[in-house]
């Protein structure tokens, strides 16, 4: 949460002429309510069930950039879909950066606690190894803005493609 998946993903899609999907936005479009309402009515388990169906559907599409929610990688079925169909990019940020980028935003139910910094710390510790294991590319997002990061990811992807096809 706050790594930049939604904003950098959208920018990367624009730069690379691909269609952008955000799994959370897709879940909201399908249900007609925002993510916090799904958590409120169905709990995190209900949200995760919707997330797994949505990621299954979206990873079947070609020529897209997909931003998942940060917790999607907890489910092995999601990891399998992403690994099988995608080139997976881990956008890494420090806990402090994640906190600063999310502190004004009320749309992340897991962070609506008395101590969101501690929650981000806990999630980082749990998830960082999973993200690293899954990722084809790890990008540190601390020193560049959204546009620059999208551009450097595109450059990296084109170079890798050149290497593979030469």
Ligand X SMILES: Nc1ncnc2c1ncn2[C@@H]1O[C@H](COP(=O)(O)OP(=O)(O)O)[C@@H](O)[C@H]1O
Token digits of residue 126: 């749990």
> How many chain residues interact with ligand X (CB under 6 A)?
15
Of residues 8, 12, 13, 35, which one binds ligand S3P by CB under 6 A?
35
Of residues 50, 92, 108, 119, which one binds ligand S3P by CB under 6 A?
108
Say whether 84 counts as a known binding-site residue. no
C-alpha 129/C-alpha 123 separation (Å) is 11
Residue 113 burial class via C-beta count within 10 angstroms: exposed 0-12, middle 13-18, buried 19 and up: exposed
Say whether 4 counts as a known binding-site residue. yes
Alpha carbon distances (Å) from 7 to 14, 77, 92, 133, 137: 11, 25, 14, 23, 18
CB-nearer residue toward Mg ion: 103 or 160: 103
**Residues flagged as binding site for substrate:** 24, 48, 70, 127
Residues that bind ligand S3P (CB under 6 A): 1, 5-6, 24, 35, 69-71, 108-110
């Amino acid at each position: 949460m706050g790594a930049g998946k939604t904003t950098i993903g959208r920018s990367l899609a624009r730069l690379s002429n691909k269609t952008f999907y955000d799994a959370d936005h897709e879940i909201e479009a399908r249900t007609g309510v925002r993510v916090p309402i799904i958590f409120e009515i169905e709990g995190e388990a209900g949200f995760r069930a919707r997330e797994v169906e949505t990621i299954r559907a979206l990873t079947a599409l070609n020529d897209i950039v997909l931003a998942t929610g940060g917790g999607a990688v907890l489910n092995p079925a999601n990891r399998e879909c992403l690994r099988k169909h995608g080139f997976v990019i881990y956008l890494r940020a420090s806990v402090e950066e994640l906190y600063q980028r999310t502190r004004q935003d009320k749309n992340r139910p897991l962070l609506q606690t008395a101590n969101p910094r501690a929650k981000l710390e806990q999630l980082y510790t749990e998830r960082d190894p999973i993200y690293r294991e899954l990722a084809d590319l790890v990008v540190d997002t601390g020193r560049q803005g959204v546009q620059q990061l999208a551009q450097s990811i595109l450059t990296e992807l084109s170079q890798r493609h050149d290497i593979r096809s030469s």
